[in-house]
Chains A and B, each alone.
Chain A
Amino acid sequence: MTALLEVSRASKQYRGLAAVDDVSFTVEAGRVHGLIGPNGAGKTTLFNLISGLVPLDEGNILFEGRDIAPLPIHARAGLGIARTFQNIRIFEDMTVLETVAAGAHARLSAPFWHCLLGLPRSRAEERRVAAEALEALEFVGLADRAQTRAGDLAYGEQRRLEIARGLASRPRLLLLDEPAAGMNPHETADLACLLRRVCERGVTLLLVEHDMGFIMTLCCRLTVLNFGRRIACGTPQEVRTNPAVIEAYLGTKAAARLAARAGREEGWQ
């Protein structure tokens, strides 16, 4: 097994508050790796560090053995890292087909002069992109919506569109930030099925999710964060029985239950 992504001793502080604190883990190629933890555990911050949206304070991040921490955001796409966002970020005014084609941006190579003069090479590339984008849409089941404005899609469709946009760059690693959030059980099952097919195509997945059933059926390894620190790492089975994990989760759940009860007693609605 080779490590595709290796995060070592990564730290990030916001105003003195450690959002990610000395976190290390490796994601092996071809696997589905889950990143879990209670709210505010630093999962999204970790995603932002990997995709370059925020700079790392300490530590490093190796992708295929290469340190990517100093690279700007756009260069990471070229290396084969794609991601989706927790609160969907699509280009609302673009058509669905264009959105997916935009996802292929890092792979396109028609030089500026060819485009400025409308030369055949850029036209041929555009035709290829259109065909590939449509193929990606078929893969996620959105082909019939190709000419729809992306902002007009239903919520679940927008989630799938974001995945198709990510896949259009032919990534080696796809980061998915709560892909099942806001979905009903039926949609979630469809999504799990889709993600398995993505993985079969040779794309490694790193997944942040709160839906434990979803995580447990899909992931072969899990990393658990709490308050920015890694508290456990292993197979779903190992993690499920890990005392630190149980405490982190039960702790918050128990607190939630207490708060709910206190609220009811005060007649607070």
Chain B
Amino acid sequence: MPIWLDDFLWTYQTLIHSLGINGLLALSMYVVLAVGQLSLGQAAFMGLGAYTGALLSLHTGLPFALVLAGSAVVPVLAAAAVGLPTLRLTGVYLAIATIGLGEVLRVIYVNAEITGGALGLGGIPGRSATWIILLLLAGALGGVWLVGRSRFGRAMEAMRGDQTAAAVIGVNVPAYHLGALLASAALAGVAGALSAHSSTFISPDDYAFEAAVTILSFAILGGIGSPLGPVVGALVLTLLPELLRPLHDFRGVFNGLIIVLVVLFLPRGILPWPMTRLRKPL
């Protein structure tokens, strides 16, 4: 590795980590939005992944790969419990049910002894190497992209356009809703574990309502034409407060404003171009 690159990585390690992690979170949001649903539980899934990962690392000698796998499984179970009954209902039911999930988990983190209570959990080993984070982001982006370009992606785009018409052409709408929600919970869980092993300290407030809204703002700013949109959205919204320090203090105002303005005036986000799947054969 050239010295300058090594230097660069060392200086900006925290920033690069949060770019990668936020990219993964944005992708997890994209997966749900891509089937025309809205989950407000991304921060909750992330928190579950973070606590699961941290506890596994602190109390067991499992290799990091297995810790990450565990951090994906637990949020998936929570997503199934909350999401299954809402699959056949309109999108607002999932949105409401997932808002509640975050709050109830917060109550548990604050009250349970093993999670360190309101003070949080410290001393988590810093196992999230930069390459792991970037590799997982690239892998997730590649996978979501390939699925999006396939017949599955076309079915999702159809559902977004008109759910009834999509069902009539043979798309199993509830199955897609469930699949997307579970995949999204797994991605958010892994992102949570990565962030816990990067910052080495987590607390219940990291996964509250505001975090959920921030994750949504990544996806909305980028637009959901393709999975690249949310990742770019995450990039912009992670870098911007670093470049403009005052934004740091007004984060809530800023993220809220972004959502309002983009939904009203730029409903397709800053990367509105849809994925091209089929070209006209010659």
Contacts and interface: CB of A to CB of B under 8 A. Distances in A.
Check A-B contact in the complex, CB < 8 A: yes
Interface of A: 51, 53, 72-75, 77-78, 82-83, 85, 89-95, 97-98, 101-103, 105-106, 108, 110, 112, 115-118, 122, 125-127, 129-131, 133-134, 146-147, 165, 169
B155 A105 contact: yes
A90 B162 contact: yes
Please report whether the interface of chain A is mostly helix, strand, loop or mixed according to DSSP: helix
B147 A98 contact: no
A51 to B, nearest CB: 6
Given A101-B154, A130-B278, 8 more contacts: A73-B173, A90-B165, A94-B274, A101-B278, A105-B155, A110-B150, A122-B150, A133-B278
Interface in B144-171: 146-147, 149-152, 154-155, 157-158, 160-162, 164-171
Contact of B146 (A77, A103, A116, A134): A116
Contact of B157 (A72, A91, A122): A91
A57 to B, nearest CB: 19
B277 interface: yes
B246 interface: no
- The binding surface of chain B is classed by DSSP as helix
B281 A127 contact: yes
22 contacts: A53-B168, A77-B169, A93-B160, A94-B154, A97-B278, A98-B277, A98-B278, A101-B278, A103-B169, A106-B169, A106-B170, A116-B147, A117-B146, A118-B146, A122-B150, A125-B151, A126-B151, A129-B278, A130-B278, A134-B280, A165-B169, A169-B169
Contact of B147 (A75, A77, A83, A115): A115
B168 A77 contact: yes
Nearest to A144: B280
B143 interface: yes
Listed residue (B143, B152, B169, B277) with the most chain A CB atoms within 10 angstroms of its CB: B169
Q: How many interface residues does chain B have, given as a range?
A: 20 to 34
Nearest to A130: B278
Given A91-B158, A115-B151, A116-B146, A130 B281 contact: yes
B277 A77 contact: no
Contacts of A101: 154, 277-278
A97 B278 CA distance: 7
Interface in B61-87: none
Contacts of B165: 85, 89-91
Leading 6 A-B pairs by shortest Cβ distance: A106-B170, A77-B170, A91-B161, A115-B150, A89-B165, A73-B167
A229 B245 CA distance: 71
Contacts of B160: 91, 93
A134 B282 CA distance: 10
B279 interface: yes
A73 B163 CA distance: 11
Contacts of B157: 91, 93-94, 98, 102
Contacts of B147: 112, 115-116
Interface string B180-216: 0000000000000000000000000000000000000
B34 to A, nearest CB: 13
